[in-house]
Amino acid sequence: MSSRDNETKVKATTKMKNYFKGVRSELKKVNWPSKKELANYTVVVLATCTVMTIIIWGLDLAFENVVKLIVR
C-alpha cells in the first residue's frame, strides 16, 4: 500500500468521526417533546388521518356515482 492510500483512509475515518460528532452535538440541541406532548401530537395525527380518509372516501364515492350516471 502506498502512503497516499493510507492518507485517504485516515481522512475518510476522520471525516466520519467528525460527522458523527456533529450529529451528536446537533441532537443535543433538539427540543424533544415530553410524553404528554407526544401523546397529544399522536392523537392529532391519527384524528387528522381519519378525517382525511373519510373525506377522500366520500369524494371517491360521489365521483364514482357521477361517472356511473354519465356512462349509462
What are the grid coordinates assigned to 21, written together?
460528532
pLDDT band at 6 (very low <50, low <70, confident <90, very high): low
Distance from C-alpha of 39 to C-alpha of 45, rounded to nearest angstrom: 10
Torsion of CA 23, 28, 31, 36, to 10 degrees: 110
pTM: 0.59
Rg of the Cα atoms in the chain: 27
Q: What is the mean pLDDT of residues 8-22?
A: 87
Report whether 41 contacts 34 (CB < 8 A).
no
What are the grid coordinates assigned to 38, written together?
407526544
